[in-house]
Amino acid sequence: MFSPEIREALASAYAAMTLWEVAAVVLALAYLLLAMRESILCWYAAFASTAIYLFLFWDVSLVMESALQIFYLAIAVYGWWQWRARKGDGETLHIHRWSSTTHLCAVVAVGVLTLVFGYVLDNYTSAALPYLDSFTTWGAVVTTYMVTRKVLENWLYWIVIDGAAIYLYLDRGLYLTALLFVLYVILVVIGFFQWYTLYRQQQVEPGQAVAI
């Protein structure tokens, strides 16, 4: 059914998998599915998955990705705090959009940080794929912050970042994680339209202020 090359690649992928990677993937997938439903439980899944990935990425010399996991641990706590009922009056954070100027600033910031940190990693460390590693890291930092603030366009950012991450993980032998990110690309498209529908509903509900 499969050519020898494909069978060998699948066998290598299976051999490279670990139970820890499986657990991290399952929890990461749970995070995304819960986030699509605006469930605060997504941040519990994110924290657990991140704690595992912190060690997995360090083990395969993805320095920036390892550092990103430390940020994720903190942002999972921040995201939980942002999504819970606030000020004791039942008011919650609602889906909103950034202006074109804010998006431009975010893109430029990611680009500059990618070049700076990519150069440092390339010249002063043994990090693998330093520029791509830096791009996915800083792109994820900005986009994850957008998720904590329920910025609608975060899903569009994730399409680009997750697409780049697929190659990064394949190169480092994290095959199950790469497969997860293929699924992510599909799910984030669904997530965008799901949040867009909720955004439109929230816009017409009385007393619903847009958060900035």
Residue 15 falls inside a structural domain: yes
Most confident by average pLDDT, 6-15, 20-29, 85-94: 20-29
What percent helix, strand, coil does the chain show, rounded to 5? 75, 0, 20
Higher pLDDT, 202 or 49: 49
Nearest to 169 by CA among 183, 156, 157, 155: 183
Q: Across the chain, what does the average pLDDT equal? A: 84
In a domain, 94, yes or no: yes
Domain range enclosing 191:
4-204
How much of the chain, in percent, has pLDDT values that exceed 70? 85
In a domain, 14, yes or no: yes
Between CA 121 and CA 143 the distance in angstroms is 22
Looking at the 3D structure of the chain, how many domains does it have? 1
Give the position of tokens 């790469």: 178
Cα–Cα distance measured from residue 47 to residue 43, given in angstroms and rounded to the nearest whole number = 6
CB 178 within 8 A of CB 169: yes
Among the ranges given (16-20, 45-49, 84-88, 179-183), the one the predictor scored with the smallest mean pLDDT: 84-88
Q: Is residue 211 part of a domain?
A: no
Question: Is residue 180 included in any domain, yes or no?
Answer: yes
Helices 175-204 and 4-16 meet at what angle, rounded to 10? 80
What is the rounded (10 degree) CA torsion for 144, 146, 151, 157?
-70
The tokens describing 200, both together, are 């439109």
Mean pLDDT of 98-127: 93
pLDDT at 12 (0 to 100)? 64
Q: What is the pLDDT of residue 58?
A: 84
56 pLDDT exceeds 70?
Answer: yes
The model carries a pTM of 0.79
Average pLDDT of 122-137? 87
